[in-house]
Amino acid sequence: MTLQTDIQKLVTDALPNAAPGSGYGYIAPDAAHVCGGVGVSNIATKAPFTALTRFRICSVTKQFTTVLTMMAAAEGLLKISDHPKLYYPDLGCDHPHLTLRYLMTNQSGIKDYWCVAMTMGARPETQFTRAHTDMLLAAPLQLDFEPGSQFAYSNTNFALLGRILDLVYRQPFAALVHDKLFAPLGMANSFVPASTAVPLPGNPQGYEDEGLPADVNLSWEGDAGIISTIADMQRWQSAQLDANHWLQTYFKACYAPGNFKDGGIASYRCGIRRIEREGGLELAHTGGLRGWRMASVLRPESGEAALVMLNH
């Protein structure tokens, strides 16, 4: 059996019987790429799930946002040691120790804005616009802890970074990530839509557990907004694994070991969880939205990477 056949069977066997489909990708230690899909991307049309199926990568977006932030720092447009309010004056938080670095590492203490919105009655199927995000960012923000002292996963951190990138580059996040990353890397099928309510090219659909189409209407950008494919995401992973790639300066700055203010080790940095597994380092992140799931894992020491996308 070939590696392609082995992985295809592994993914097929792992899917529940009622699952619509999955995309998968694997980069082997010899840099050989394997990618494909099983099942369907849309139950009604029976369109197959392939390596070119557009997909919501959700929170894996955070890797792209932090690399762009490091680029902006290298270009002298910002300093990651600065307070976010220096670049986003409407922010409703004046805590003197808050910095861009703590946004990038989920150590800010700022509550997740979508969780806050849900406690106020928001639902994924109702419209949640950029204006709603800006309204929540401008509201008085009481931090859950001293910045740099703890970890708490918060989409707000990366939504705010996306807004800051808009302002320092004077360019919308969707155009910025295209020009700075997608186009140079050849990620021709990747983009940031205005909302999750916008149908994707080819009409792939995310599904609930009971097989009903997932209904979502959220506007996400720097925190979870990117649409991509298995084939495009392998280009992103290949750049991360290539020690001579022009992006390595930014990857190394983002994915280096992290710490809290007291010197304790922080496993999460810049859209990556650093995990020691079976004697090797893994750089991993997952993403999820009603109807969609994704996981990205890299092993830099062995030169391996894996991707899984599920539309349920």
Amino acid at 270: C
pLDDT of residue 68: 98
Segments of the chain scoring below 50 in pLDDT: none
pLDDT of residue 78: 98
Residues in Cβ contact with 178 at an 8 Å cutoff, skipping those fewer than 6 apart: 190, 191, 192
pTM given for the model: 0.96
pLDDT of residue 1: 64
Whether 128 contacts 115, CB under 8 Å:
no
pLDDT of residue 116: 84
pLDDT of residue 226: 97
What gap in Å lies between CA 37 and CA 49, rounded to an integer?
Answer: 5
pLDDT tens-digit readout, 172-207:
999 999 999 999 999 999 999 998 888 999 999 999
pLDDT of residue 232: 98
pLDDT tens-digit readout, 215-261:
888 889 999 999 999 999 999 999 999 999 999 999 999 999 999 99
Whether 268 contacts 250, CB under 8 Å:
no
Whether 305 contacts 241, CB under 8 Å:
yes
pLDDT of residue 126: 83
